[in-house]
Structure 1
Amino acid sequence: MPQDSQAPAPPFSSKKSAWRFAKTADAGGQSLPEVFASIKLPAANTSWLKRFLAFVGPGYMVSVGYMDPGNWATDLQGGAQFGYTLLAVILLSNLMAILLQALSARLGIATGRDLAQACRDHFPPAINIVLWLACELSIIACDLAEVIGTAIALQLLLGIPILGGAIISVLDAFLVLVLMNRGFRYLEAFIIALLSIIAICFGVQMIAAAPPLAQLVKGFIPSPEIITNSQMLYIAIGIVGATVMPHNLYLHSSIVQTRAFEHTLSGRKEAIRWATWDSTIALMLALFINAAILIVAAAAFHTTGHQNVAEIEDAYRLLSPVLGLGIASTLFAVALLAAGTNSTVTGTLAGQIIMEGFLRLKIPHWMQRLLTRGLAIIPVIMVTALYGNKGIGNLLMLSQVILSIQLPFAVIPLILFVSDNQKMGELVISRKTTILAWGVAGIILVLNFKLLYDTFF
């Protein structure tokens, strides 16, 4: 299969628009240049299964962001307080994520540009600065959840204080560097292995919880109470913010380009098809895990008089005695540690993609990672010093609301780009998909306006 030694000139650009793709492999020519087109694909005459498996990986890396420790806080609180009612919100947000991630993969494959590079090429500098700052804020908010989750898991498993665990979490920067140096496939394998651990841990807890099937099915049907109950709506918006991650849209548009697919129309169509299947299947795993967290919380706490459980530590302490399974709490903490570790890996890549894409600024990966992680640790230290461990849960919830507010800054440019004929050519999305995508963006905007109104007025 022919492979390009440098980034191909995208065939879908137009002089009529402000879309100015870099035509050479300059500092901003390739997204993640160290792994660009580094994974070879089997010959075209091999089986469809081998072709599909060659594309498997990016979707699972993206799915990590949909089950990070921030999801745990919102899912636990939602299940404990409101039972199975908010399962409908998890399902809806996951379906929105499947659509948006498919659009993100399409953009990267069709144009050869990640979302950050596309924004830089299209928008004037002032807007790009705003978008970049919003992206960095979302990464810091996500990183904040990862710091807290990892620190709590280390405290539960090893008795390490929260501050000590937060400082230890800085070392994950070196884990990313080691895996990247061995090859992108090693990084993907590491991610999938940790996801498997999380799935097994919650699978065991689901069996122990034995939730009633009728209530589960009813929970997946949207209830008007979600909108009318302000407290439930606040948690629902937090679930949306924790599920649909802004920086994941930038990440996915980049890492799909690690495959050395043919840069022809047919080659790009095949790559889009397999990348979409990859992310859809991976996000169904994320749906299972997020739903499992809420279901376990509902079965263990909502129906047993522990509706006020909102802290991860409280859930850890109560799970084993309530479920009658001695290992339940340990499985919970192990899964939390795996989720925190996984999320830091993808957060590192997203930070690199955004900084290089918007600013064409290349700094050592360890420095970029330590900078982001350092900014995330500061609020953890302040809240712990002022309010103790009890304030950490509120900080975790706040981080997810911040992520929800950042969503429009990533979603709107993405839909603008993939629905534009001049930019996408024959790979532009259909009118029906465009309407559906703008409908998703509208839901996100309405939820955000509602959140801001309730917060300030």
Structure 2
Amino acid sequence: MSQSRTKSGYIIAAAFIGPGTVTTASLAGAQFGFHLVWALVFSVLATIVLQDMAVRLGFATGKGMSEALHHQFRLPWIKYPLVLLVVGAIGVGNAAYESGNLTGAALGLNNIVALGIGPWGGVMGGLAAILLWRGKYQLIENVLVALVAIMALVFVVTFAVSEPDWSGMLSQITDPVINTESLTTILALIGTTIVPYNLFLHASLIARQQQEHSQPASEYRRQSGIAIGLGGLITLVIMATAMQTFFGQADALNAGNLPAQLAPLLGPYAEVFFAMGMFAAGLTSAITAPLAAAYAVCGALNKPTDLTSVWFRAVWGIVLVAGVVATLTGTKPLYAILFAQAANGILLPIIALLLLYMMNTHPQLGALRNRLTANVLGASVVALIVGLTYQKLFA
């Protein structure tokens, strides 16, 4: 099996392990210790379930999710509202999400060279634009996987040598917390893991890879589960490093002391290594958010999804420019990132319901159509997220 056939699942892991994940998991660990691990475990399992549906949809139809919706719904009164939803929720939404990616990465780099969040955001946006403009999928894929590996190595090695309090972590895992104070963080953990645009991105990547390198659906599904599980493990490690440093301590986690999580291993070099980790995480998400938006919007509008087409480049260019501009507004980065993740958690049920409908009705699915177990799991995910969101907004 060639390498080009084995990385689509890891691209999805790369997409959700961004500055938002680092920030949200760090805040969760610092403020609530391991009492919110249940929310992370739920998020990872839900992501595996939903992304598996996206894999099967892309494999069976040879199209991305928005393309499949476009062709399945023929009646104008259904079709056009769905197009508006995809363009608004994924296209416009990803532009806002992009600002969090660039801001988070700029936050880390600014701790080394104080150019300011705005200028660093512009640099990051420029790097992402160069890579996307090249239109070389294999290059994009390799860069994303390498960047995530760099970030993961920093946190995993740090946690391994930081003398973790295993008994304390275990006692908190078995004492889960859900209350008014924790709901925003819970929704943010869900939103940073079960990223709505990844459903569109994954189906498109599978359809593309299946056209170039045919292989069994089971291989894509297996790799998706493994990659997402590893991404969840990395998120757990980030939460644990913040817990070790900040939970129950007088010092509170803020934008200035995020690098302190790495101090047990790296000492005075912690700031430099954390900046590199945030740079790697930020660039992965700064690439995948515009990429996913381009696949989703072009598919919904029935436009070419080739990486070098004018429409495709226009969509990702608009998303990227909007993200760069947003970094110049001076919004407090830590809370902007947390809010973006919580907004993702609110958007997710709508996208998940559309996917569930597709997985039960699309005529091309055949044996890959949802069975009872997948429907129950998918409906349970939607119900819990809706319940948490309702509690947050109206309780």
Same fold (TM over 0.5): yes
Sort the Cα spacing of 1:248 and 1:219 in 2 relative to 1 into closer, same or farther, 3 A: farther
CA distance in 1, matches of 2:265, 2:139: 37
Q: Where does residue 28 of structure 1 map in the other structure?
A: none
CA distance in 2, matches of 1:445, 1:214: 33
Sort the Cα spacing of 1:324 and 1:348 in 2 relative to 1 into closer, same or farther, 3 A: closer
Q: Where does residue 372 of structure 1 map in the other structure?
A: 319
User: Could you tell me which amino acid in structure 2 is paired with residue 65 of structure 1?
Assistant: A
Tell me, yes or no, if structure 1 residue 355 matches structure 2 residue 355.
no
Q: Secondary structure at the match of 2:216?
A: helix
**8 Å Cα contact 2:92/2:319 also seen in 1:** no
Q: Where does residue 122 of structure 2 map in the other structure?
A: 167
Sort the Cα spacing of 1:278 and 1:324 in 2 relative to 1 into closer, same or farther, 3 A: closer
Offset of residue 187 of structure 1? 2.3
Pick from 79, 85, 89 the counterpart of residue 130 of structure 1. Answer: 85
**8 Å Cα contact 1:251/1:353 also seen in 2:** yes
Task: Please say which of residues 439-448 and 124-133 is displaced more in the overlay.
Answer: 124-133
Sort the Cα spacing of 1:324 and 1:155 in 2 relative to 1 into closer, same or farther, 3 A: closer
Offset of residue 257 of structure 1? 1.8
Sort the Cα spacing of 1:218 and 1:188 in 2 relative to 1 into closer, same or farther, 3 A: farther
CA distance in 1, matches of 2:144, 2:261: 26
CA distance in 2, matches of 1:276, 1:221: 31
Q: Where does residue 70 of structure 2 map in the other structure?
A: 120
Tell me, yes or no, if structure 1 residue 382 matches structure 2 residue 325.
no
Offset of residue 427 of structure 1? 1.9
Question: Deviations 1:371-393 (Å, cap 9, x if unpaired)?
Answer: 11232234432334xxxxxx221
CA distance in 2, matches of 1:341, 1:152: 13
Q: Secondary structure at the match of 1:241?
A: helix
Pick from 422, 426, 442 the counterpart of residue 367 of structure 2. Answer: 426
CA distance in 1, matches of 2:223, 2:280: 21
Tell me, yes or no, if structure 1 residue 401 matches structure 2 residue 357.
no
Q: Secondary structure at the match of 1:231?
A: coil
Question: Highest Rg: 1 or 2?
Answer: 1
Q: Which structure has more RCO (C-alpha within 8 Å, separation ≥ 6)? A: 2
Tell me the matched-pair count: 384
Offset of residue 204 of structure 1? 2.1
Q: Where does residue 36 of structure 2 map in the other structure?
A: 86
Offset of residue 324 of structure 1? 7.1
CA distance in 2, matches of 1:126, 1:321: 51
Q: Secondary structure at the match of 1:259?
A: helix
CA distance in 2, matches of 1:274, 1:320: 36
**8 Å Cα contact 1:114/1:357 also seen in 2:** yes
Question: Deviations 1:38-95 (Å, cap 9, x if unpaired)?
Answer: xxxxxxxxxxxx37x6631111111112211111221111111111111221111011
Tell me, yes or no, if structure 1 residue 286 matches structure 2 residue 231.
yes
Tell me, yes or no, if structure 1 residue 326 matches structure 2 residue 282.
no
Sort the Cα spacing of 1:131 and 1:370 in 2 relative to 1 into closer, same or farther, 3 A: closer
Task: Please say which of residues 365-374 and 252-261 is displaced more in the overlay.
Answer: 365-374
Q: Secondary structure at the match of 1:209?
A: coil
CA distance in 1, matches of 2:201, 2:146: 20
User: Could you tell me which amino acid in structure 2 is paired with residue 136 of structure 1?
Assistant: G
Tell me, yes or no, if structure 1 residue 156 matches structure 2 residue 111.
yes
User: Could you tell me which amino acid in structure 1 is paired with residue 258 of structure 2?
Assistant: A
Q: Secondary structure at the match of 1:304?
A: coil
**8 Å Cα contact 2:23/2:334 also seen in 1:** yes
Tell me, yes or no, if structure 1 residue 275 matches structure 2 residue 258.
no
Pick from 126, 132, 149 the counterpart of residue 196 of structure 1. Answer: 149
Segments of 5+ residues of structure 2 without an aligned counterpart are: 305-309
Offset of residue 222 of structure 1? 6.3
Tell me, yes or no, if structure 1 residue 309 matches structure 2 residue 250.
no
Question: Deviations 1:129-180 (Å, cap 9, x if unpaired)?
Answer: 12321122331232121111121122123322111112222211111223x3
**8 Å Cα contact 2:60/2:364 also seen in 1:** no
User: Could you tell me which amino acid in structure 1 is paired with residue 267 of structure 2?
Assistant: L
RMSD between superposed Cα atoms in Å: 2.3
